[in-house]
Amino acid sequence: MQALLLQAVYVILLLGEFLLGIAAFFLVSATTPASSHAPPPPEFFILMPVLWLSWMGMDLVVLLGAIVYGVRAGRGEWAEYPVLGQLALKILKLRSGGVPL
């Protein structure tokens, strides 16, 4: 349940950033005067790397979390994700440690 919640939050954040990037593209395009020889606006050179780095950062966090908690689960240990663990326990109606209520 924790891994499912993590993936759901990850997809929601990715979609939000994607929509933010599209909105920023259209906003900058609409406010920039049209000219056939004009270079791209400098906002693109700032915003696009920031969006790309945030996507890569989220990818890295999800990958490392999957590895760390996958290894713990493989050892038979109970491990809760930092934020989503408590939410997963409430959804499954369990106490900490995976004990039924």
Tokens read off for 98: 């995976």
Bridge partners of residue 80, in order along the sequence: none
**Lowest mean pLDDT, pick from 32-36, 49-53, 67-71, 94-98:** 32-36
User: In the chain, what is the straight-line distance between the N-terminal and C-terminal CA atoms, in Å?
Assistant: 17
Residue pLDDT, tens place only, 22-53: 888 888 877 777 776 777 777 778 888 888 89
- Residue 2's nearest CA partner among 60, 54, 99, 78 is 78
Q: Collapsing DSSP states into helix, strand and coil, what is residue 23? A: helix
Residue 68: alpha-carbon gap to chain centroid: 17
Alpha-carbon gap, residue 8 to 84, rounded angstroms: 11
Structural domain boundaries in the chain: 2-32+40-92
pLDDT at 36: 66
